[in-house]
Amino acid sequence: MTVREETLVNESFIIDDQLLVTPEEAARRLSLGRTTIYELMSSGALQSVNIGRCRRVPVSSLSSFVSKLIGDVAVEQRRR
């Protein structure tokens, strides 16, 4: 991933000063379903934290997740 691509990914998730979002908000920001977000959290592919009985997703983990996906695509394209 180039520096420009990484900057664009990071900027797209920094909409406000919010550090943690609900799984539903994470799903909305990634254009995924709520169930998919919970599956990603269970598998460890998307980091999350528990605060009491609430599950929250760090905004930084959303951009890390997307960056990893972009990196995986780049590696796959190089193999072809």
0.75 exceeded by pTM: no
Average pLDDT, stretch 62-75? 83
The structural domain count of the chain equals: 1
Domain that holds residue 20: 3-79
Helix (H) or strand (E) holding 50: strand 49-51
Q: What CA–CA distances, in Å, run from 1 to 22, 41, 45? A: 28, 24, 19
Under a CB-based contact definition with an 8 Å cutoff, are residues 37 and 46 in contact? yes
CATH of the domain at 32: 1.10.10
Residue 25 has pLDDT above 80, yes or no: yes
Whether the predicted pLDDT of 12 surpasses 70 = no
> Which of the four pLDDT bands, split at 50, 70 and 90, describes residue 17?
confident
